[in-house]
Amino acid sequence: MNPVSDTPVPAAPIDYHPLIRQVFAEMGKVVVGQQPLLTRLLIGLFTGGHILLEGVPGLAKTLTISTLAKVLHLHFQRVQFTPDLLPSDLVGTMIYNQNQSVFEVKKGPIFANLVLADEINRSPAKVQSALLEAMQEKQVTIGDTTYPLDLPFLVLATQNPVEQEGTYPLPEAQVDRFMLKVHVDYLKKADELEVMRRMANLSFVEDVQPILTKEDIFGIRQQINQVQISDTLENYLIELVFATRRPADYDLPEFAQAVQFGASPRASIALHRASKAVAYLEGRDYVLPEDIKEVAADVLNHRILLTYEAEADGIRTQDLIEAILRKVPIS
């Protein structure tokens, strides 16, 4: 008799990498190019971090997000933020049922897995705060009752960098709650040519097959948590964040008077999680310095506030981050 026959055999860990490759392939049927954007979206989804997207109109941001929701079999909602939007339009409200003489809850579009907050800076501060509270707490309160949001829950907010008239810029404290700020750039020539041909010939694909389930996403999150990062790289990561606060201490005197506020401790946490996700998507169970550098700009860019004089001199946060990545050693 086998003495351990009654002992449950632990299930072998699932290798999700073939499924992730299928996600990229399925997305490619609809979205041309934008590989960096899709990678950032998966990093946010697999680590529970919200993403702020910035790019001019027409770069397929909405199409990419809605298609990703289909491929991942998640509930998707798009909310167009406008100056007359109310918090109740987002989270929901109480309505009176005349037939039963009771108040009932009408849940808003925030009750979804992927929420696209389109042009978030066009809504007043109260609406922005309602969204950001839901992002932080993963719940909303309607009337006297608190309702948990369905997990996974990811907010993807967009900003138009061109038109600033009639907008309500997000305060730094609110922007800091986004794990990544991703700049969505124009397509390459070959990709735009492919998009033009697809649209002109009406040969674009609308239906995609779901690849991952919610359970798969939670399983991937657990595996990302197990990715190893050495003490040396953790210290390197901290040095990068500290360099945004005191550039002069890191042999960057040209930026000594340029920084009003550096990156917050949330940046350290986000960079740690994001670098592990990058390593996982590359098929490794350990982090390399290149993984940290890959997402450093997206994590730090929106968390650094430059002085007015620095902006007047044409200094950008990107310039500071690139200089920090060149100067800070790995030791």
Of 175, 209, 243, which one is at a domain's C-terminal end? 209
Instruction: Tell whether 41 and 180 lie within a shared domain.
Output: yes
Check residue 11 and give its pLDDT: 56
Q: How many domains does the chain have?
A: 2
| 4 found inside a domain | no
d(CA 252, CA 247): 5
Q: Is residue 1 part of a domain?
A: no
What range does the domain containing 148 cover? 17-209
Q: Please state whether the peptide bond connecting residue 109 to the residue before it is cis, i.e. omega within 30 degrees of 0.
A: no
Whether residue 305 is contained in a domain is answered as yes
Same domain, 138 and 264: no
Tens of pLDDT, residues 274-295: 999 999 999 999 999 999 999 9
- Paired with 96 in beta bridges are 103
Tell me, what's the pLDDT at 3? 47
Measured in whole angstroms, how far is the alpha carbon of residue 267 from the centre of its chain? 13
The tokens for 155 are 């907010």
> H-helix or E-strand containing 157?
strand 154-159
Which of the pair, 186 or 212, is modelled with greater confidence?
Answer: 212
Tell me: pLDDT of 87 over 60.
yes
Residue 42: pLDDT over 50: yes
Distance of CA 228 to the CA centre of its chain: 22
Q: How far apart are CA 228 and CA 303, in angstroms?
A: 26
- 3-class secondary structure, 259: strand
Domain termination site, one of 209, 238, 269:
209
More confident residue, 115 or 170: 115
Task: Look at residues 181, 209, 237 and tell me which one is the last residue of a structural domain.
Answer: 209
User: Are 151 and 232 within one domain?
Assistant: no
Decide if 123 contacts 81 (C-beta within 8 A).
Answer: yes
Lowest mean pLDDT among 157-161, 220-224, 236-240, 313-317: 157-161
Burial 183-205 (b: 16+ CB within 10 A, else e): ebeebeeeeeeebeeeeeeeeee
